[in-house]
Structure 1
Amino acid sequence: MYVDGQWTGEDLSQFEVINPATKQVLGNVPNGGKEEAKQAVDAAHSAFESWSKLPAQERSRLLAEWHRLIGENKEEIGKIMTLEQGKPLQEAIGEVGYANGFILWYAEEAKRIYGETIPASHTHKRIFVQKQPVGVVAAITPWNFPAAMITRKVGPALAAGCTVVVKPAEETPLTALKLAELADEAGIPPGVVNIITGNPQAIGETWLQDNRIRKITFTGSTEVGKQLMKGAAYTVKKVSLELGGHAPFIIMEDADLDKAVEQLIGSKFRNSGQTCICTNRVYVQASILETFSEKFKAAVSQLQTGGGLEEGVDLGPLINEGARFHDDTSHFFRRDFCFQK
């Protein structure tokens, strides 16, 4: 764990991080709980006073330096991600670039937090809006995009002058810890970024009950999102939730079928189908069903499965057995998945 600029948790019980491709243990990380969650908030709350007062240009400079270091280490971060999450190496490196784009974007936006002036109703009044950071932000992130979902939350928070406490998914903590290492190297002050690994319920409940946390940002299941929204209400925290999606793929008879196949493959099999915007049902107009089905089956048959570090692999492993929905893919070709005008 990374708290207040220090690597901590060696004295705690540990949990294993497993390579989903080989089932081998990659390493062990601290199994933090309520006390560690509180310590992270202590650090973030203490750092908030100085970080929020830091000139925007300086916050921007530090974010830009973090961006530079992530870019220089993208292959290493990608390999860590592949080992703990399973996605093919090139896809993982691509995610690092995507994740790093958020840091660069918000490094620039830090300099553009403009206020407003508003016409007043009386000549002796002036009305203006000054934007201020909300305070400590708690970010809870998923395993399917272990870099991008952190930078997309932490980047804007730091740019605005907030400090953060981050709880990465238990399956993929190593990517988060590497990002924290690079943030430290970039010169981001102690307490501004804190990473807690461990018991999600204990950590989440502690943060929900702590009035010093003024915002919760979460990407994950709708069920957990509802629980966080309910818990945040007691201390009236701001909430940003990115929850489960429903993504139909619709193919009409005037479509370019080869392009439709290509796009469906990209949507359905990206990250082995483990994204919130993956296609989960396909509607094909009846007049082109047979033609499209044959093209699609032929394309699927060309996909290569295997460990994410293997050359030429398109589909890595599922993150764990719990991610398996079922083995029957025949639902892609059933006639009840078509419609007619």
Structure 2
Amino acid sequence: MVGEAKSSNEFAPALIGGEWLFVPARGGPVINPASSQLIGHHAMVGDGEIHAAVDHAVRGFRYWRGVAASERSQVLLKAASLLLERQNEIARTLSREQGKPLAEAMGEVARSADVTQWYGQEARRIYGRLLPVADQAVRLAVEKEPIGPVAAFTPWNFPLSQSAKKVAAALAAGCSVILKGSEEAPFCCVQFVQAFIDAGVPAGVIQLLFGEPARISQILVPHPAVRKVSFTGSVPVGRMLAAVAGQHLKYATMELGGHAPALIFADAPLEEAVRSLVSGKYRNAGQVCVSPTRLLVESQVFPDFLRRFSELAAAVRVGDAFDPVSDMGPLVHERRLHVMQELVSDAVQKGAKLVTGGKRIDRAGFFFEPTVLANVPLDARIMNEEPFGPIAIVNPFANEEEAVAEANRLPYGLASYVYTVSAARTRRLCSALEAGMVSVNGQPIGLPEAPFGGVKDSGFGREGGIEGLDEYLVTKFVAERAW
């Protein structure tokens, strides 16, 4: 097993046909974002190796689709168990290369195991149905079959849990998977895949690739043997991949960006709402697609909310992932620091008030202050572009109609949040908000048994729940007459 990186000489290999590919001469750097120091290198696969991965996935699919559902279930349940057994080791690797506090990394490993376990259980419940007939010599059946080899592209912000949603669902359905792991967090991806191998996933059923993302996608997405594409990432990249998949009539799941509004009404308990939103906003340094970003507050409680939220945001402790007092870690890239600064400067220049934060922290690594902007005008970039960082916008609204109009103004539609004690208002808003998911009063939305995904520019298709399993199945109608 490839373990936790311990020196700059370590190498995260690709996995092709059951063999780990160690080619240090063709490696990309892996940087610790908390120190900006080199951790090691990841594999850089070439065209031949990408094509070889597809060939192995085709052979792996032919075998795996014929494995009994009960056996696939046991393999996935074993993988979930191994992820939990190795939780501390994997979490430490994740924190070192991605930067999130160790407690958050531990939680991500646990969620990955939970997702894998859930799909391991659900693998036994892939049902078709028989249709009623008048002629007893006729059998009409609807069957569910695995779609085929899958190309799965996972992001750096949640490299484990996003991999689990794709890999576990695909394997449960009987598909083989080519996982394009995160080059920013490759070592934890290696450990994740190793758990599945050790659980009994046969050679060729799962491949792991690292390299130039554009080149890997250029080969995998249009490849005739790849029958399904699952991508989590930015809207611009998702548009390109969806276009290519559409040209080749490929099934696709696109879980893309967001710019989540949170509607806070005067009747909501402010202290509870503030704590919930600060926790959600600055989790993973705001590098979360469902992060609440536009906090829309009813005008009569706006000053009180802004004061409380800003005080709690300023108290968020920023530091190294392995410091037990750290609430928030660094951004993943130095270039993200420049983006944050540009967004803050643009907003202030256009009339927004910088309440707290707003600049890079003067220390090694890619740390940015938890930031709050208030009364941000609509023409500011941050009101229209997903910041994907630790910046919260707090703006007032006069009435429910105005709040809904602003919430739905952008082309994004991933998650929306509502804080109110009114059951009638909750029902109205859950219907009116244009989002794939709505959380009321801080209830979680990323559950293994629940569908996760968006509408509009935030993508299509779902991960999680039985809907997530259906994404890897095709429906076949069989009409049979007995002679």
**Pairwise TM-score range, normalised by the shorter structure:** over 0.9
1:198 aligns with 2:211: yes
Paired position in structure 1 for 2:234: 221
Match of 2:85 among 46, 49, 72: 72
Kept in 2: contact 1:12–1:31 (CA 8 A): no
Kept in 1: contact 2:91–2:102 (CA 8 A): yes
After the TM superposition, list the runs of 4 or more consecutive aligned residues in structure 1 that deviate by more than 6 angstroms. Answer: none
> For structure 1, which runs of at least 5 residues remain unmatched after alignment?
none
1:340 aligns with 2:398: yes
1:43 and 1:266 map into 2 onto residues whose CA distance is 43
1:121–1:35 Cα change, 3 Å: farther
1:47 aligns with 2:88: no
1:160 aligns with 2:173: yes
Matches within 5 A, 1:164-203: 164-203=177-216
1:166 and 1:37 map into 2 onto residues whose CA distance is 11
1:77 and 1:96 map into 2 onto residues whose CA distance is 7
Tell me the CA shift for residue 65 of structure 1.
1.1
Kept in 1: contact 2:182–2:189 (CA 8 A): no
2:223 and 2:300 map into 1 onto residues whose CA distance is 58
1:218 and 1:335 map into 2 onto residues whose CA distance is 32
Paired position in structure 2 for 1:117: 130
Deviations 1:222-249 (A, max 9, x none): 1111111111123321101101112111
1:132 aligned counterpart, secondary structure: strand
Paired position in structure 2 for 1:231: 244
Paired position in structure 1 for 2:299: 286
Kept in 2: contact 1:87–1:315 (CA 8 A): yes
Kept in 2: contact 1:12–1:32 (CA 8 A): no
Kept in 1: contact 2:42–2:183 (CA 8 A): no
Kept in 1: contact 2:24–2:41 (CA 8 A): no
State the one-letter code of the partner of 1:191.
G
The structure with the largest helix share of the pair is: 1
Paired position in structure 2 for 1:101: 114
Tell me the CA shift for residue 120 of structure 1.
3.8
2:227 aligned counterpart, secondary structure: strand
1:27 aligned counterpart, secondary structure: strand
Aligned residues between the structures: 341
Kept in 1: contact 2:321–2:329 (CA 8 A): yes
1:309 and 1:239 map into 2 onto residues whose CA distance is 38
1:209 aligned counterpart, secondary structure: coil
Percent identity over the alignment is: 36
State the one-letter code of the partner of 2:83.
I
1:33 aligns with 2:51: no
Kept in 2: contact 1:282–1:332 (CA 8 A): no
- If the length of structure 2 is used for normalisation, what is the TM-score? 0.68
Kept in 2: contact 1:79–1:92 (CA 8 A): yes
Paired position in structure 2 for 1:326: 340
Tell me the CA shift for residue 74 of structure 1.
0.5
1:250 aligned counterpart, secondary structure: strand
1:310–1:151 Cα change, 3 Å: same
Match of 1:313 among 323, 326, 341: 326
Tell me the CA shift for residue 280 of structure 1.
1.8
Paired position in structure 2 for 1:245: 258
Tell me the CA shift for residue 64 of structure 1.
1.1
Tell me the CA shift for residue 12 of structure 1.
4.9
Deviations 1:266-298 (A, max 9, x none): 221111100001112111122112111111122
Tell me the CA shift for residue 158 of structure 1.
0.4
Tell me the CA shift for residue 84 of structure 1.
0.7
Paired position in structure 1 for 2:284: 271
2:294 and 2:398 map into 1 onto residues whose CA distance is 16
1:262 and 1:135 map into 2 onto residues whose CA distance is 44
2:173 and 2:106 map into 1 onto residues whose CA distance is 28
- If the length of structure 1 is used for normalisation, what is the TM-score? 0.96
1:143 aligns with 2:156: yes
1:53 aligned counterpart, secondary structure: coil
Relative contact order, CA 8 A, sep 6+: which one is greater? 1
Tell me the CA shift for residue 121 of structure 1.
6.7
Match of 2:271 among 240, 254, 258: 258
Paired position in structure 1 for 2:404: none
With 326-335 and 19-28 compared, the bigger mean Cα shift is at 326-335
1:98 aligned counterpart, secondary structure: helix
1:123 and 1:315 map into 2 onto residues whose CA distance is 66
2:151 aligned counterpart, secondary structure: strand
Pairwise CA RMSD: 1.5
